[in-house]
Structure 1
């Protein structure tokens, strides 16, 4: 069972992702609606993978990941970004800050679990 923390401000996307990952049966999912909430939850939770929305009010996904990386137990946890702005330059920039992968929105709920598993195997 892979422990995943999902940080997404859109409640509908959180729900679709949770249903998709629950259906796959390979994930224990903790969800957060903002970067600040995620940073609070990871104080005593160590996920196997971090799934982050890129554009959120307050802290962006990138800022959230930068703060998470300061915590020793999260320094090497694979991070995957989800974004509607998946242009080549932005994808490269996210990979340069440590993203294991970038998933484009809208995403395919039926393949989300496999996309995550493939990204953390790379």
Structure 2
């Protein structure tokens, strides 16, 4: 079964790092957005199994807002897991992520191996 993954981050280097981390997997379909508004619209169309979502992004929606929208959408909330990716490592930031409905909170700079393990766990795959 192909896993649909949506990467939403305004930093091209982070999107590239994630893509490179996932490139060896042959059963994933990856799409990308560089801001929260586009990420939200893409999520509605793409219906990802997993979103890797930056918290701080320019534009109309930040990562917390996108996460809350995904988790309240009837078509996405039961299907889409959300991992928030952020440089913000304060307890209050993680709490805000939990309130938005995030399934996990990963602080940048994260280990690609840790990201893969977390994704495999969320998608029910064996590592």
Q: Fold conserved (TM > 0.5)?
A: yes
Superposition CA RMSD, Å: 1.9
* Correspondence for 2:13: 12
Structure 1, unpaired ranges of 5+: none
TM-score (norm 1): 0.85
* Correspondence for 2:31: 30
Q: When the two structures are aligned, how many residues end up with a matched partner?
A: 121
Equivalent residue in structure 2 for 1:95, among 98, 102, 122: 98
Structure 2: distance between partners of 1:119 and 1:95 = 16
Equivalent residue in structure 2 for 1:67, among 69, 78, 83: 69
Structure 2: distance between partners of 1:49 and 1:119 = 8
CA contact (8 A) 1:100 1:120 kept: no
TM-score (norm 2): 0.82
CA contact (8 A) 1:9 1:33 kept: yes
Query: Where do 4+ consecutive residues of structure 1 move more than 4 Å?
Result: none
Structure 2, unpaired ranges of 5+: none
